[in-house]
Amino acid sequence: MSLQVNLRLLEKGILHLDGDIPASELAPEFHDELMRLVHPVEYDLEVERQPDGLLVTGTLRTHVDCECARCLKPFVLPIRVDDLSRLALLEAVDGGDADEVLPVDGDFADLTPVVREDILLALPTNPLCSPNCRGLAPKGVARGSQVREQAGPNTAWSALDKLKL
């Protein structure tokens, strides 16, 4: 179900909407080498009728499956939009950008484009597993991973030794 708001109800006052929208419905055309939108986006919105459109405010929440741009490690990045505030037009304005007009079907306007835009704006250009990720070792990667493999069991054994004591 897409994120629809009843325009007749809006004439009577502010509407509160919450729920979630599947990623497949929100941004099916989204493609990025390092980020995948696969989790639903939770929304908690207030919608208010304005003379020329709908004022949408509230919060959005989701998480994104990422690969670190530096070390290529997969990680999950939480995305929050805490201060969404957008005036979405219901009709094209002269000289305005047609993309900003909400799709309207009968008495219902679809707010999906507003949520999509704010989520996409909240995504990082380069997702990083941590702000100080040092990335892959510039050289000797194979040797580095060998060292790590050796370190693994050793650490495990020393932990076991401590337990025995």
Rounded to whole angstroms, how far apart are CA atoms 117 and 13?
A: 25
Q: Name the amino acid, one letter, at 136.
A: L
Number of residues lying near Zn ion (CB under 5 A)? 6
Q: Name which of 103 and 144 has its Cβ closer to Zn ion.
A: 144
Q: Residue 57 — left, alpha, or beta (φ > 0 → left; ψ -120 to 50 → alpha)?
A: beta
According to the binding rule CB under 5 A, does residue 115 interact with Zn ion? no
Which part of the chain contacts Zn ion (CB under 5 A), choosing from 37-45, 93-101, 130-138, 144-152?
130-138
CB of 77 to Zn ion, least distance (A): 11
Beta bridge partners of 4: 110
According to the binding rule CB under 5 A, does residue 68 interact with Zn ion? yes
**DSSP at 101:** B
- Candidates 27, 55, 71, 89; binder of Zn ion (CB under 5 A) is 71
Place of tokens 């009843």: 6
According to the binding rule CB under 5 A, does residue 133 interact with Zn ion? yes
- Candidates 36, 39, 63, 70; binder of Zn ion (CB under 5 A) is 70
CB of 128 to Zn ion, least distance (A): 6
CB of 47 to Zn ion, least distance (A): 39
According to the binding rule CB under 5 A, does residue 66 interact with Zn ion? no
CB of 81 to Zn ion, least distance (A): 24
Rounded to whole angstroms, how far apart are CA atoms 110 and 114?
A: 9
Rounded to whole angstroms, how far apart are CA atoms 43 and 20?
A: 6
Q: Name which of 14 and 72 has its Cβ closer to Zn ion.
A: 72
Q: Which residues contact residue 122 at a Cβ distance below 8 angstroms, ignoring those fewer than 6 apart?
A: 60, 79, 80, 81
Backbone angles phi, psi at 36, to 5 degrees: -130, 125
The residue ranges that bind Zn ion (CB under 5 A) are 68, 70-71, 73, 129, 133
